[in-house]
A and B are shown apart, each in its own frame.
Chain A
Amino acid sequence: MKDNLHGVYIIWYRDILRFWRDRARMLTSMAMPILYLVIFGTGIASFLDRGEDFDYIAFIYPGIICMVVVLGSIMSGITVVFDREFGFLKEVLVAPISRTAVAVGKAMGGATIASAQGLIMLVFIPFADVQMSVASGFMLVGLMIVLALSLTSMGLFIASRIRSMEAFQAVMQLLMFPLIFISPVMFPVETLPGWLATMVKLNPVSYGVDAIRQAVMGVEASAPFGIELFGYRMSIALDVAVVATFGIIMLMLAIRSFRVQE
């Protein structure tokens, strides 16, 4: 057990080190969400103008934070593909650390980086015109970490089954769009047609967005963008349960996939 924790730490630490050397890249992956925030926050908000009590930017701001976390999380899987291509994965797989420690360490490394990117987004609080208490700030951080761990595990699982950088990038392009946009990131979902609403509810990101929006705006204020499951309005706790369950399943699949690597 102690050995495993140590193994997790070493794997995690290396991912952080590596990321730190390459930290400028983080900004390129955050550029798009920030652009969305500015363009949609000002442009569409003025077009939508539903009156004094509806502040569109306050709704999409938590959605954009999620977008940053989700993008950062699933893209972290690329480190596995990269390690395979450059051979470093062999050094990891022949080492006396369990495959569980490898997968958990990787998931934690990716999640740390994705959460940090989410945190950086907090500098836009004044622009987004939201008031947050310290308590909800902490809540937000916790939720970002859960969402990041869950989606990093998914990225890890996908990456563990893919051999080439090109294939990984293609799969990511295919996945990214529906994961981010078939969710309440940019618009309310309860009024969507039936099939699209179903897809939103099958998307784990939706629950992450819902939880984070409730934490940032408060339960009442976020209600117009809320999700209902079986006629039941999701609470933060329920959202977390869905995201965490999805993450655990993905992590177990990733661990299994690391076990049978050749």
Chain B
Amino acid sequence: MTSIIEVEHLVKKFGDLVAVDDVSFDVAEGEIFGFLGPNGAGKTTTINILSTLMRPTKGKVTLCGHNVARRPNEVRRCIGMVFQDPSLDIKLTALQNMQFHTGVYSVPRDVAKERIRTVLEMVDLWERRNDTVQTYSGGMRRRLEIGRGLLHYPKVLFLDEPTLGLDPQTRFHIWNYILDLRKRLNITVFLTTHYMDEANVADRIAVIDHGKIIALDTPDALKRMVGGDVITLKTDNPEAAVAELKEKHNIEAQHGSEGIFFEVQNGEEFIPTLVKNFRSGLYSISMRRPTLDDVFIKLTGREIREEGGGEAVLMRAWAQRQASGGRGFH
């Protein structure tokens, strides 16, 4: 497989702050590559460098065969971008924003017209196309922004926290569309996220923390790193429960937002043993397969983000895609 993105020893400093710290990776053509990490990890900075908006402090980045620092114009022709922060012209209408985009990306007029309609319908804004973006809600603007990035069928599509704040239904539609584009046109997707469910869509994930890549593998392989099942306990005295687990089962449990949790092999068999003679009061026990959240905790000892949720929806989108053999959406 040929690499469409090659990053070698990339460093980006802002004064004394090292935002990206000696990062290297390759992305194959047609791959969905995810950057997973907490806020401030350096995801956006990396995307900004890859998309020519910032210059690397050190290191070499090649996109579509062109060096981003030396041949930015060639690189720009090959990429599409959905920014994390707003980048719409709110004084113009949705349609005008889209037309500007197909204009600067030289999409032929008749193709553009049809594609704008398809995309606006997909993000459910066709009816509102002649309203100025100023009158849109945050979610509508986000949908428009994502739709716009998909208009010119780039070879490499950058999505910086694309579905942040969108409802599951919309995320489902958007991901269906992106996965379909990939299937048809073999576009490469570079995704940053701190949503676990979104990261699951990726073929490979780089876990990034404090500007460094601390793990890089397929989502399944990363989850296997955690080993076993994750058991979460809610108890009236977490400290005592942690101590008791250590004493009786030699288990190092951790405190999390849901209660205390730990990993064991064969969780189904362990739970009855645990419950028998457990001195601390238990409210609930839950067991699940490891998620990418657990991977991050395993690697850093911290939780990646405050809230989770929505994983099921995207996994469903993903599964459907695989099963349907990728024929168009709707």
Contacts and interface: CB of A to CB of B under 8 A. Distances in A.
A43 to B, nearest CB: 39
Interface in B98-133: 100-101, 103-106, 132
A248 to B, nearest CB: 23
A93 interface: yes
Interface string B84-101: 011111111000100011
Given A10-B104, A17-B96, A21-B91, A87 B86 contact: yes
Contact of A88 (B73, B79, B88): B88
B330 to A, nearest CB: 28
Interface stretch (A58-66, A95-103, A227-235): A95-103
Classify the secondary structure of A's interface with B. helix
Contacts of B103: 6, 10, 13
A86 B86 contact: yes
Contact of B76 (A17, A86, A95): A95
B96 A7 contact: no
B290 to A, nearest CB: 37
Contacts of B55: 262
Contact of B87 (A11, A18, A22, A87): A87
A92 B104 contact: yes
Interface string A113-156: 00000000000000000000000000000000000000000000
Interface string A34-46: 0000000000000
Nearest to A83: B89
Nearest to B90: A86
Contacts of A83: 89
A87 B92 contact: no
Contacts of B85: 87, 90
A98 B76 CA distance: 10
Interface stretch (B46-54, B181-189, B246-254, B278-286): B46-54
A133 to B, nearest CB: 40
Size bin of chain A's contact surface: 20 to 34
Interface in B142-160: 148
B81 interface: yes
Given A95-B105, A96-B105, A98-B73, A90 B89 contact: no
A94 B89 contact: no
A166 interface: no
A49 interface: no
A143 B188 CA distance: 51
A7 B76 CA distance: 14
B198 to A, nearest CB: 22
Nearest to A260: B55
B316 interface: no
Contacts of A90: 53, 81, 83, 85, 87
A94 B52 contact: yes
A91 interface: yes
A14 interface: yes
Contacts of A7: 104
B100 A10 contact: yes
Interface in B30-82: 51-55, 73, 76-77, 79, 81
Contacts of B51: 94
Contacts of A262: 53-55
Contacts of B105: 95-96
Contacts of A3: 106
A14 B85 CA distance: 21
Contacts of A91: 81, 83, 87-89, 100-101, 148
A130 B96 CA distance: 43
Contact of B53 (A10, A18, A94, A98): A94
Contacts of A86: 86-90
A118 to B, nearest CB: 24
A94 B132 contact: no
B84 to A, nearest CB: 10
Contacts of A10: 100, 103-104
B162 to A, nearest CB: 15
Residue of A3, A87, A89 with most partner-chain B CB within 10 A = A87
Contacts of B92: 14, 17-18, 21
Contacts of B89: 14, 18, 83, 86, 88, 91
A116 to B, nearest CB: 18
Contacts of A97: 104
A98 B96 CA distance: 21
B77 A96 contact: yes
Given A18-B92, A88-B88, A96-B73, A6 B53 contact: no
Nearest to A93: B53
A258 B53 CA distance: 11
6 contacts: A10-B104, A17-B96, A91-B83, A96-B104, A96-B106, A98-B73
Q: Which 3 A-B pairs have the closest CB atoms?
A: A10-B103, A87-B87, A95-B104
Given A94-B81, A95-B101, 6 more contacts: A10-B100, A10-B104, A14-B89, A14-B96, A21-B132, A262-B55
